[in-house]
Structure 1
């Protein structure tokens, strides 16, 4: 049930912006973790977090739409110019890119946290 709700929240074609996604995700994740905080489920939460990170990466890659936008945003993150050009012009789909080293290295968990995304494990560790 949790994954189904997160799937709806992180749907990549729903037209919501980054801030709306962050707010909705934060609200739902906090509520869910607070409700289930007594259960010992750190392994399951870590697995769901990895899945959620890839969903967020898909969402971000889809929002960047054009190769030029992808290129400039990858450079802003700190990727080298040559590598940013290669990655921005890849012919892979958004799911393949999100699961490949392209976005796993450029949009890692530290960058996603810095951008304001909330993850289950972070809240679970605070609550327990």
Structure 2
């Protein structure tokens, strides 16, 4: 709970955010050999229940932060799946990136988490929506409007 100027509101406890991130970290583990579509299905199911429980909280910025962090974790998993330079090159070209950028990214020797930020242009929000990932903030606003 928090106290504003004119009212008292509900917020998420820091431990709650840590718990959901740890659970999502397990679901997006790099060591799991799982298709992205299966990961997204399990993430959607988990977050659907989680947002239903915590939708009373009046902190949309926390939900946006978790959603952005989750997309970065998923980009990291995709980059790990595209293990070889040849595969990375082919997949990035298929996403429509310029050849010069693709060449630099495919041959990069940075770690998975570090490269996930550079993949943001190729694997953007529209890409994840097309893959079936449901937006946490959209769900939050839809549930809040229903009240």
TM range (shorter): over 0.9
Q: Does 1:127 align with 2:143?
A: yes
Q: Which residue of 2 aligns with 1:62?
A: 80
1:118 and 1:67 map into 2 onto residues whose CA distance is 30
Match of 2:56 in 1: 38
What CA RMSD, in Å, does the superposition of the two structures yield over aligned residues? 1.1
Partners of 2:37 and 2:131 within 8 A in 1: no
5+ long unaligned stretches in structure 1: none
Matched residues in 2 for 1:21 and 1:118: separation? 12
Output the TM-score relative to the length of structure 2: 0.81
Deviations 1:80-120 (A, max 9, x none): 12221211111111111012xx2011111121112212232
Structure 2: give runs of 5+ residues left out of the alignment. 1-18
Aligned residue for 2:31?
A: 13
Question: If each structure's helix is expressed as a fraction of its own residues, which one has the higher value?
Answer: 1
Could you tell me how far apart the structure 2 residues matched to 1:78 and 1:103 are? 12
Q: Give the alignment partner of residue 77 of structure 1, picking from 95, 99, 103.
A: 95
* Paired residues, number: 126
**Relative contact order higher in (CA < 8 Å, ≥ 6 apart):** 1
**Deviations 1:1-39 (CA, angstroms, capped at 9, x unpaired):** 111111111111111111210110000010100111122
- Which of residues 90, 102, 106 is equivalent to 1:88? 106
TM-score w.r.t. length of structure 1? 0.92
* 1:113 maps to 2:129: yes
Bigger Cα Rg: 2
Separation (CA, whole Å) in 1 of partners of 2:81 and 2:36? 9
